[in-house]
């Protein structure tokens, strides 16, 4: 992480660290990827760089180097972490999963790179999942 991480970096870094601590098998999800998360309402973003055995989180976007970019408001980012998953994606059987899926379809949650990197999105969702 940067010396002084922004609020989003602190929140996501803490969430991933806690999840890896409480669920050590999730370390298997740490395969090479670069992911941008942007909270539009907070005018802030972070870059998550995954590698075997490590996660690095930096303030700001990856300047076009990201495999996947998730752009939405801060509340929706939190909802993504709290959504029940099925196969690493929001479970549309649950109301929360349907709500997130609707937001993706309405482009309230924009996911660039989804078609090229669906497995990366699945791994990110499982790393962030608190469910």
**Longest distance between any two alpha carbons in the chain, whole Å:** 41
Per-residue pLDDT of the chain (131 residues; tens, 9 = 90+): 446 899 999 999 999 999 999 999 999 999 999 999 999 999 999 999 999 999 999 999 888 899 999 999 999 999 988 999 998 889 999 999 999 999 999 999 999 999 999 999 999 999 999 87
- CA distances, 108 to each of 20, 100, 121 (Å): 29, 9, 17
| Domain-embedded: residue 70 | yes
Does the residue 1 lie in any domain? no
Indicate whether 104 belongs to any domain. yes
64 domain-assigned: yes
User: What's the rounded Cα separation, in Å, for the pair 38 and 35?
Assistant: 10
Looking at the structure of the chain, the number of domains it has is: 1
Residue 57 lies in a domain: yes
82 closest CA partner among 68, 95, 69, 66:
95
In CATH, what number is assigned to the domain containing residue 77? 3.30.1050.10
How many Cα neighbours within 13 Å face the side chain of 124? Answer: 26
In a domain, 2, yes or no: no
Strands (DSSP E) contained in 52-125 are 54-59, 68-72, 85-86, 89-90, 110-112
The answer to whether position 109 is within a domain reads yes
Is 15 inside a domain boundary? yes
**Range of 15's domain?**
7-128
Angle CA 34–101–26, to nearest 5: 45
Task: Tell me what pLDDT residue 2 has.
Answer: 47
């Amino acid at each position: 992480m940067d010396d002084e991480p922004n609020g989003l970096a602190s929140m996501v870094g803490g969430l991933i660290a806690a999840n890896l601590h409480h669920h050590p098998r999730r370390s298997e999800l740490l395969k090479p990827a670069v992911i941008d998360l942007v909270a539009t309402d907070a005018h802030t973003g972070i870059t998550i760089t995954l590698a075997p055995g490590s996660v690095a989180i930096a303030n700001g976007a990856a300047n076009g180097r990201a495999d996947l970019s998730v752009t939405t408001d801060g509340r929706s980012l939190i909802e993504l972490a709290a959504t029940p998953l099925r196969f690493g994606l929001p479970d549309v059987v649950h109301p929360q999963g349907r709500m997130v899926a609707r937001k993706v379809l309405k482009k309230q949650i924009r996911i660039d790179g989804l078609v090229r990197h669906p497995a990366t999105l699945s791994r990110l969702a499982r790393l962030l999942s608190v469910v």
